[in-house]
Amino acid sequence: MITKFVSVFLTVLLCVSSWGQDSMTLSRVSPKLRKFLDGHPGAAKTLSKTLSEAFSNKTIELYYFYTDDETVPMGDHFYDHIAGKTWVTILIRENQEPCDEYVSFEFEALNSEGEQRFEELEGMAKAGTISKPDFVRGIEKQELAASLKMQSILGRLQLSKKEIAKSHFYNKFLDCPSNFDEFISYRNKFTLNANLRDEQHYGQVYDNLRNGS
């Protein structure tokens, strides 16, 4: 999860309490992504289904940001709990290819479905009942699951050769191995998804949780 942005401009795009009850929700995304979805009805249908399943009984906030810093992830999500409700905030980098903006949105929605497991891992880290390697491995297993779901979705999209050639994500996801150890090696070598972090990052998250920071 993103802990900070440097020189990033955030703009609130939307805030809805239930995607599944609002058929007009996808019309609220950026014009660039809306055009992509209009041209790829299969992608629009899949995204709508994912959002309905992932955010049922939750409140979602979607923010777009712009940055020239290539080290900043193209997307991220985090949770908050207010008055007994779960809020999920998704951050999407604006200056990326339309296909990749779609992938960033879809992937973060899929990854957010691991909320319960992520919070279990954080709780164990705070309590000192899980080691750092097992904490890191637990998070990475959740991200592998989301990556394989994304792989399946992309495999069904009918993208043009031009769209595929411009995409940062497409081929990297399609070539993602399903074996966990192979996935870690592949991610470290090719940076499968700029939204995924390495062991060092999650190790620091663990240390912060143990230190109460």
Is 16 part of a structural domain of the chain? Answer: yes
Q: What angle do CA 102, 108, 114 make, to 5 degrees?
A: 150
pTM of the model: 0.81
Contacts 24+ apart (CB under 8 A), 116-122: 117/142, 118/79, 118/142, 119/79, 122/209
| Spatial CB neighbours of 160, under 8 Å, sequence gap ≥ 6 | none
pLDDT value of position 210: 93
Q: How many domains does the chain have?
A: 1
Helix (H) or strand (E) holding 93, with range, is: strand 85-93
Residue 55 near residue 49 (C-beta atoms within 8 A): no
Is 75 part of a structural domain of the chain? Answer: yes
On the question of pLDDT at 174 being above 60, the answer is yes
Is 114 part of a structural domain of the chain? Answer: yes
Token pair belonging to 32? 């660039």
pLDDT value of position 192: 55
Is 2 part of a structural domain of the chain? Answer: no
Separation between Cα atoms, residue 213 and residue 203, nearest integer Å = 14
Is 58 part of a structural domain of the chain? Answer: yes
Separation between Cα atoms, residue 86 and residue 88, nearest integer Å = 7
Which of these ranges, 42-46, 67-71, 181-185, has the smallest mean pLDDT? Answer: 67-71
Separation between Cα atoms, residue 102 and residue 47, nearest integer Å = 8
Is 1 part of a structural domain of the chain? Answer: no
Output DSSP code: residue 178.
Answer: S
Structural domain including 152 reads 9-211
pLDDT value of position 23: 42
132-167 pLDDT, tens digit each: 999 999 999 998 999 999 999 998 988 999 999 999
181-213 pLDDT, tens digit each: 999 988 887 655 555 667 788 888 999 999 986
On the question of pLDDT at 13 being above 70, the answer is no
Determine phi and psi for 172, rounding to 5 degrees.
-65, -40
pLDDT value of position 213: 67
On the question of pLDDT at 67 being above 80, the answer is yes
